[in-house]
Amino acid sequence: MTATTTTGTLRERIVAAAVDTTLADGWSQVTMARLAGVVGVSRQTVYNEVGGKPALAEAMILAELDRFLSIVTDAFDTHPTDLVAAIEQATAGVLRLARGNDLLKAVVSATHGADTELLPLLTTHAESLLESAKLVVAERVRTYDVPLDEHLDPAIDMVVRVVLSHVMQPSGPPEETAADLAWIASRVLRG
């Protein structure tokens, strides 16, 4: 959804306008007044809907996280009896979305000097984003018959961290990375 879209809640439209502005001109150019103009409301309404700029940044990141986690959920729904296939599909989908995700590229470029105001989006919220991802994966994995007992949570942590590492710094095509991770998962699940 883009800011010019008239569908979605007012909050969603404001967040979409912030994403569009960030992509077009950088995070430093995102102001409540500018967003108000794009969405067609008062500056105070923007503040009432999203709070200040830090809260807006968090809303942007959480909206992106939801997009990524919906891919994970869909993969597990598609493979309710085959955990390895679910992991492979989820990984490939997440990595494909990451490759074409301009907001993610903008945030990552902040770590390389392009727009240093975005750096806190990665560092301040990194742990909560990681925990959110692990919770979604854990909830889905627990529906499978997984013989890992006390090693299940560390295994989930490792898989999520490996996928996130490839999101930030891909080493190959999404399908290849996903197949490699699925192969490792199949070996671990055999005990």
Task: Render pLDDT for 114-124 as a digit per residue (tens, 0 to 9).
Answer: 455 555 655 56
Per-residue confidence band for 173, with pLDDT thresholds at 50, 70 and 90? very high
Tokens at 63, concatenated: 């909206």
pTM: 0.79
Task: Find out whether 118 and 106 touch, Cβ atoms under 8 Å.
Answer: yes
Which of 4-8, 52-56, 152-156, 169-173 shows the lowest mean pLDDT across its residues? 4-8
Mean pLDDT within 67-78: 95
- Per-residue pLDDT at 111: 45
Mean pLDDT within 32-50: 95
Q: Which residues contact 176 (CB under 8 A, 6 or more apart)?
A: none
Could you identify the residue written with the tokens 């000097």? 113
DSSP annotation string for 162-179: HHHHHHHS--S-HHHHHH
Can you tell me the distance from the alpha carbon of 92 to that of 67, in angstroms, rounded to the nearest whole number? 14
- Per-residue pLDDT at 70: 95
Query: Looking at the predicted structure, is the pLDDT value of residue 191 above 80?
Result: no
